[in-house]
Structure 1
Amino acid sequence: MTTLPLEPATVSSASASHTWLRRIHSGGQIVETCPDWCTDTHRNDESGYLDDLQHGAQFDGLELAVFDAEHGTMPMPVLAGRINVDPYSSDSRRCVPHIHLEPFQGEVMECLTPNEFAAAIAQVRAHCDRLEAVHAQLMKARAEYR
């Protein structure tokens, strides 16, 4: 799976649509075509169950140095995710492009709509504003501590 660089308000799209003949496990076949933004290779999607197909584009998260008791400080991705669509899903939320957001590694917020994703972004932005206030408070505390 390709991981895309995180750029302001964009996720890079694939250069051309990928089309292939897909054999369906229960019999028959179908021609599949990726959306323009899909960067998945689909190497393992030439056959299988119809609803196993996903199209997507990964986006990297910010890496923060986090302490790990066994390994010392290690980079940990924060706010990584994927634009995703499961075109044959029985879940209507998955049949349209949506966001899977990983606030931190191993945890996911699934099937975010554009409005839900915007709300998450606003929450993170507001928290960063609060962190800047804490930073100013820390600078003041250090200056007074000397």
Structure 2
Amino acid sequence: MTTLQPEPVFVPSQSAPAPAVRTWLRRIHSGGQIVETCPDWCTDTHRNDGSGYLDDLQHGAQFDGLELAVFDAEHGTAPMPVLAGRISVDPYSSDSRRRTPHIHLEPFQDEVMERLTPDEFAAVIAGVRSHCDRMDEVHAELVKTRVEYR
């Protein structure tokens, strides 16, 4: 018989600004319970985190990607997000890289770069910036080529 657990109730902490800190009682699958507190940067709802395995908990904050109109054989074009992701931390993970805030980056839909450290994320940003500089050069060449083509 399955017992439904109530939704977590977020109680503002008395020692921090009310909107930033969320705390709830979490029942652990193997027995017992623990009081969880969201980091102030976490925007996850934790709607389904009222019970479960400790290592299922993740705190995070999404950031949107750029949407590009990509060719779609059925619809002509379809919006495709690129470079979307989230800051994440998995406080109970057995993987030490997940227990520290990191970036989960989706270069394009359904592809992922996981557990990026600040230095690794900076390297990705530098690579994208460099590529955009190269695309500026290609754009200038295209403009020149189109003028000469006429």
Q: TM-score, structure 1 length as denominator? A: 0.90
* Runs ≥4 residues deviating over 3 A: none
Share of identical aligned residues, percent?
A: 84
Of residues 38, 42, 47, the one that matches 1:43 is 47
Asked if 1:106 corresponds to 2:98, the answer is no
Give SS of 1:79's match: strand
5+ residue gaps, structure 1? 1-13
TM-superposed deviation, 1:71: 1.9
Supply the AA of the counterpart residue of 1:93.
R
Structure 2 distance, partners of 1:84, 1:141, is: 45
Bigger radius of gyration among the two: 2
Q: CA RMSD in A?
A: 1.0
Q: TM-score, structure 2 length as denominator? A: 0.87
Give SS of 1:51's match: helix
Asked if 1:72 corresponds to 2:88, the answer is no
The residue aligned with 1:5 is none
Structure 1 distance, partners of 2:23, 2:76, is: 45
Of residues 94, 98, 114, the one that matches 1:94 is 98
The residue aligned with 1:28 is 32
Asked if 1:118 corresponds to 2:117, the answer is no
The residue aligned with 2:23 is 19
What does the per-residue CA deviation read over 1:2-60, in whole Å, with 9 as the maximum and x for residues that have no partner?
xxxxxxxxxxxx94111000000000000000000000000100000010000000000
Structure 1 distance, partners of 2:27, 2:79, is: 41
Structure 2 vs 1, CA of residues 126 and 15 (structure 1 numbering), >3 Å: closer, same or farther? farther
In the comparison of the two structures, how many residue pairs are matched? 133
